[in-house]
Structure 1
């Protein structure tokens, strides 16, 4: 199965065209789940694991691969389906999220599919497993559920959103009170991380859960005669989102004369080197890896300085 990912580098051409590839897998019998191929480094049959005393209950052990020790998470248990009872012939998916490497144990890996983000819909509102989904889609009349890995990882190992006091420019913070930033992210955890960080800067956060929603919001303000680049200090957008990804959102902003001067930063868990190239391709003003509160705070403060004193 590892060979199915050998050409992942060639797939970068899909991104920026509002397209993605999903790795489909099963956690129990029946339902299909998915992760974006760009987050995945390797798929293996279940290796022998070393136990980790006093670890989170969803971490079933560690494996050794690519010269490092990697925790293995029972993904079914982590999203509320219960632990996988039969580990015979199951798989692990080694992935990179937010600068960390971890593996997810799944019952079986199905295949990779090429899709358009417009085919990927936000999950329905409600209780249950929807809390652990960022999106859903249909394939061959079967529902495919895209897992919110950021939420899973937040629960296994909570992120710290506190900005180092040495990073905060208190004079600037006092001047920033009431300024507005638009954050776009399909993960509730991702939005919460940004909100908790920028609130320490005195900034008000407006949020949208996907690029299509954000673009509708921006164009709606412009249609009312609002000078959107003056209204917003900046837009902070995730890359992967249902209906419209962050790359397509940036292109749409640049193509609208009323919005083109907005300051846009890509904020994503995808690999840095890849996104640095995409930033230039689609016209973003910057790129930040998730999740580093100090770096996010520095980027926002630098932008606030330029926003408040454009001629300095």
Structure 2
């Protein structure tokens, strides 16, 4: 399965606003995750799992995988999906990597990989508001709803210490000299991030570091529309776009328009192409780094390295 996933990664072109979702089952219901997070699928071997004392109900234990142990989360238990009796002969484990960490998730089974457009990812109805942080949206496949699971949020619920931005990580938030903080205040930054929690954290930390002029957007499409409004205003006043925006920080995984597509549009626009674009995503690995370069991104950093992000902003904006 791993080699097949690697082949599919090569075939998926950068900046087309497409994503591949692998569909899996929990309690008879379909769920999905971005294939970019998936390293491999392995059969569940109970004898390879070590239980942890006093762990939460959804923390299955530590799974021995080729000589290394990784946390094993019972995803059905965490999402409170009841087991359908006699429906699962043998469960499987999704081994995933994001935020520079490897975790594994126990599921009832997998179906297939679906290639879709980010425009096909629908936001959840208000009925699901209490559960929204655990899901990024849903898609319709062959008449059935597939809920897209936010594995990053699931992990932070189980391991609060792995929250995306720990306190005290940002170098320069308090120690920056007056000159640097004053220079940061002049920089105009845009942020495209679909998670309300993460978006607010990024904006808060940037402002506490001295980058006070921050405008945020809930996805790539909203950011693209906002940039076009700034472009029109700059043209009307005979000004350079840099008077309105110096740098964009963008997530990759976003509904409506993903970060790679947003970056590609910016870098192929004759007016916007000089805007510095930094991809800040939990998905950054060797393949995704290459795709960031393909669409013209000026830099890329994996979450949760917020301290490194601030340093990169200084390198690009405080010249």
* TM-score over 0.5 for the pair: yes
Match of 1:265 among 278, 281, 297: 278
- The residue number in structure 1 matching 2:37 is 39
For 1:51, the equivalent position in structure 2 comes to 51
Partner residue in 1 for 2:205:
197
SS of 1:232's equivalent? coil
Q: Equivalent residue for 1:73? A: 73
Counterpart CA distance in 2 for 1:107 and 1:256 is: 46
Give the Å deviation of 1:153: 1.6
Matched position secondary structure for 1:32: strand
Deviation, structure 1 residue 71: 0.6
Distance apart, 1:166 and its partner CA: 6.1
* Matching of residue 169 in structure 1 with residue 176 in structure 2: yes
Which whole-Å deviations, capped at 9, do the CAs of 1:86-141 have from their partners, x for residues lacking one?
Answer: 78622211100100000111122111112222322333345233331112111111
Given candidates 200, 204, 219, the residue that maps to 2:228 is 219
1:276 aligns with 2:289: yes
Other-structure match for 1:151: 153
CA distance in 2, matches of 1:73, 1:134: 19
The 2-side partners of 1:174 and 1:45 are apart by 56
- What is the CA distance between 1:303 and its match in structure 2? 2.4
1:262 CA displacement: 0.8
Q: Deviations over 1:172-202 (max 9, x none)?
A: 1233236432111223343244224312212
CA contact (8 A) 1:173 1:201 kept: yes
- 1:6 matched to 2:6: no
Q: Deviations over 1:235-271 (max 9, x none)?
A: 1111122221111101111222332211100111224
Residue 206 of structure 1 pairs with residue 215 of structure 2: yes
1:151, 1:189 within 8 Å by CA — same for their partners in 2?
Answer: no
**1:309 corresponding residue in structure 2:** none
Cα distance in 1 between the residues matched to 2:220 and 2:253: 9
1:279-290 correspondence runs (5 A): 279-290=292-303
In the alignment, the residues of structure 2 paired with residue 72 and residue 83 of structure 1 have an alpha-carbon distance, to the nearest angstrom, of 18
- The answer to whether 1:117 aligns with 2:124 is no
- Asked if 1 retains the 8 angstrom alpha-carbon contact of 2:172 and 2:209, the reply is no
Residue 181 of structure 1 corresponds to: 189
Tell me the secondary structure at the aligned position of residue 136 of structure 1.
strand
Q: Is residue 54 of structure 2 the alignment partner of residue 23 of structure 1?
A: no
Cα gap change, 1:34/1:260 in structure 2, threshold over 3 Å: closer, same or farther? same
The answer (yes or no) to whether the contact 2:206–2:310 under 8 Å persists in 1 is yes
**Distance change in 2, residues 1:84/1:115 (3 Å):** same
| CA–CA distance in structure 2, aligned partners of residues 166 and 130 of structure 1 | 34
Instruction: Pick from 243, 246, 251 the counterpart of residue 233 of structure 1.
Output: 246
Moved more, 106-115 or 93-102: 106-115
**Structure 1 CA distance, aligned partners of 2:90 and 2:263?**
43
Q: Distance in 1 between matches of 2:10 and 2:167?
A: 31
Which is further off, 122-131 or 181-190?
Answer: 122-131
Q: Secondary structure at the match of 1:7?
A: helix
Shift in CA distance, 245/289, structure 1 to aligned 2, threshold 3 Å? same
**Which residue of structure 1 lines up, in the alignment, with residue 134 of structure 2?**
132
Taking structure 2 as the reference length, the TM-score comes to: 0.85
Q: 2:305 aligns with which of 284, 292, 296?
A: 292
Give distance in 2, aligned partners of 1:13 and 1:90. 29
- Secondary structure of 1:109's counterpart equals strand
Is 1:61 aligned to residue 67 of structure 2? Answer: no
Contact 2:170 2:310 in 1 (8 A): no
